[in-house]
Amino acid sequence: MGGDAPALAAKGAMATIPIVLASTSDPVKTGLVASRNRPDGNLTGGTFLLNVSAAKQFEVLQEAVPKPGTIGFLVNPTLPEAEAAVTEVRAAAQALGHELLVANASSEREIDAAFAMLAQRRIGALLVGNDLFFYSRREQIVALAARHAIPAIYVVREYAQAVGLMSYGTDVNDAQRLTGVYVGRILQGANLADLPVQQAVRVELVLNMKTAKTLGITFPLSLLGRADEVIE
């Protein structure tokens, strides 16, 4: 099961059926489990906290765009973690000496408006926040970034595969594999309480060469050498 909302709903409806989740937030803070090490109840799984690498994302982005000037941050303000994400990203930008321009969007129309504003302010690069709604609108987002010629970095590889410039974040497939292993162990009779909630730690870098060429960007060899995938 993916996402916190369906996991919380399932936990409330099913008190004894084992539930294995893949979550993008802290399951203790959201009330899904009492403890990571000894989950109390009928739920366990894997987590992948995509926003924790904001500082590293900026460093990677700066390698591709050495002098970005003002950097934009697209965030969904309706998310419970939105304020914390903005605080973290702002601190990361300031540490590298860049001004940050936050653009809020929680609908398709607001995404269009956010990109129009970012383009008008002539930002040099963009970080797109972790959000399931943004993920569902990734085709729209990467198209707008291309239309306005904005170099952008995203949190998961599907954006780069949809002609986004680059992605750097937790390997979601790694978290999904963790949940698959747990499902198998439970089906073989393992006690769910003995299966701690695991956090996926592997990160991946994906670069899109075609998009870079369109934007007039040349990835340095140092970045190309670290890439987990280079899309031609």
Tokens of 123: 């930002």
Per-residue pLDDT at 39 = 67
CA distances from 5 to 23, 51, 137, 189 (A): 10, 18, 19, 27
Stretches in the chain below the pLDDT threshold 70: 1-16, 22-27, 29-32, 34-36, 38-41, 46-53, 175, 200
In the 8-state DSSP scheme, what is residue 36?
S
CA distances from 21 to 11, 66, 89, 188 (A): 11, 39, 27, 18
66 and 116 share a domain? yes
66 and 151 share a domain? yes
Q: Quick check: 146 and 154 in contact, CB under 8 A?
A: no
188 and 216 share a domain? no
72 and 123 share a domain? yes
Rounded to the nearest 10 degrees, the angle between the axes of helix 108-120 and helix 138-147 is: 20
208 and 193 share a domain? no
138 and 85 share a domain? yes
- Give the global pTM: 0.78
123 and 34 share a domain? no
Query: DSSP of 66-128, one letter per residue?
Result: S---SEEEEE-TTSTTHHHHHHHHHHHHHHTT--EEEEE-SSHHHHHHHHHHHHHTT-SEEEE
Rounded to the nearest 10 degrees, the angle between the axes of helix 82-95 and helix 54-64 is: 50
92 and 129 share a domain? yes
Which residue range is the domain that position 32 belongs to? Answer: 4-47+171-201
CATH number at residue 225: 3.40.50.2300
C-alpha 82: how far from chain center: 13
In the chain, the number of structural domains is: 2
Q: Quick check: 49 and 175 in contact, CB under 8 A?
A: no
78 and 158 share a domain? yes
Q: Quick check: 8 and 31 in contact, CB under 8 A?
A: yes
160 and 212 share a domain? yes
197 and 88 share a domain? no
187 and 90 share a domain? no
